[in-house]
Amino acid sequence: MSINALQAIKQDTLSEHVFQQIKEDIITGVIPQGQKIGEAGLAKSYDISRGPLREALHKLESINLVDRRPHSGSRVITLDFAMMQDVYQMREAMEGFATRLACIAMSQSDIDNLYRLLEKHESSIKQSEGKRYLQQEGSLDFHYYIFSKCQNQWLIDYLNNKLYQVLRMCRHRSSQMPFRVEPALHDHYAIVDAINNRDPELAEILMRRHISGAWKIVKNLLDKEKIEE
């Protein structure tokens, strides 16, 4: 099950449907960062009335993808350095913790599934050289599979519905730039090995290190970006 498939549920109402749609448009950059959002305009372009649109905007605010100020309006967030640092710092702590819990709670068949998932990633990397964005989305599936087994509904909810949404936004921002994906796969194997050995502390540490490594890469890209302009 893909992480995107999971988000597709619950689109029973207009408000939910348009919420998902706008969310994807923000994450993929169709609506650019910092863009001011006029309710009337968006309502027309998504072909709904302002009521459901406002509800969608509230939901977008609740997952920190838009800022809303009373009587003034909404705008898409801008991923500045401080925000990305906050997000990665948060992710390191929370997903590390989730990994520890998952290591304790996982069944053996869960672990087997993880190994199979990694093998699929490995072969898909060999086949499709250069399609880094897809490969990264695959990596999200790996992370999701682990923390979804931590058995703490609040933790799962926060990681899945808040942190990972801006995270995907970050990745889209920096997906143009080249970097290697093989090291990540190596990290992933080490994490699953730790889980397989039922070593929660090590699993947590490896996951935290993996994430802080990802942040270092992103940070370097941001620095380079700044120098070049």
By the criterion CB under 8 A, which residues form the site for a copy of itself? 10, 12-13, 16, 51, 54-55, 58-59, 62, 64, 70-71, 82-83, 86-87, 89-90, 93-94, 97, 152-155, 158
Which of DNA, a copy of itself, none has residue 158 at its interface (CB below 5 to 8 Å by kind)? a copy of itself
Show the binding pattern over residues 30-69: x = contacts DNA (CB under 7 A), - = does not: -------xxxx-------xxxxx-xx------------xx
Contact status, residue 87 vs residue 167, Cβ threshold 8 Å = yes
Work out how close the CB of 116 gets to a copy of itself at its nearest, in angstroms, rounded to a whole number.
Answer: 29
Work out how close the CB of 55 gets to DNA at its nearest, in angstroms, rounded to a whole number.
Answer: 7
Which of DNA, a copy of itself, none has residue 219 at its interface (CB below 5 to 8 Å by kind)? none
Pick the stretch among 7-15, 80-88, 136-144, 154-162 that binds DNA (CB under 7 A).
Answer: 7-15
- CA angle, 144 as apex, 127 and 203 as ends, to 5°? 95
72 scored as a contact of DNA (CB under 7 A): yes
Give the position of tokens 């950059």: 29
Q: 89-95 — which CB contacts under 8 Å span 24+ positions?
A: 89/215, 90/163, 91/159, 91/163, 91/167, 91/211, 92/208, 92/211, 92/212, 92/215, 93/208, 94/155, 94/158, 94/159, 94/163, 95/143, 95/147, 95/159, 95/163, 95/207, 95/208, 95/211
Pick the stretch among 8-16, 27-35, 181-189, 202-210 that binds DNA (CB under 7 A).
Answer: 8-16
Q: Determine whether 219 is exposed, middle or buried from the number of CB atoms within 10 Å of its CB (0-12, 13-18, 19+).
A: middle
Distance CA 104, CA 63 (A): 29
Which one among 13, 62, 89, 151 touches DNA, defined by CB under 7 A?
13
Pick 91 or 210: Cβ nearer a copy of itself = 91
Of 91, 95, 60, 90, give the one whose Cα is nearest residue 74: 60
Give the position of tokens 């959002």: 37
Site for DNA in 200-229 (CB under 7 A): none
Residue numbers at the binding site for DNA (CB under 7 A): 12-15, 37-40, 48-52, 54-55, 68-74
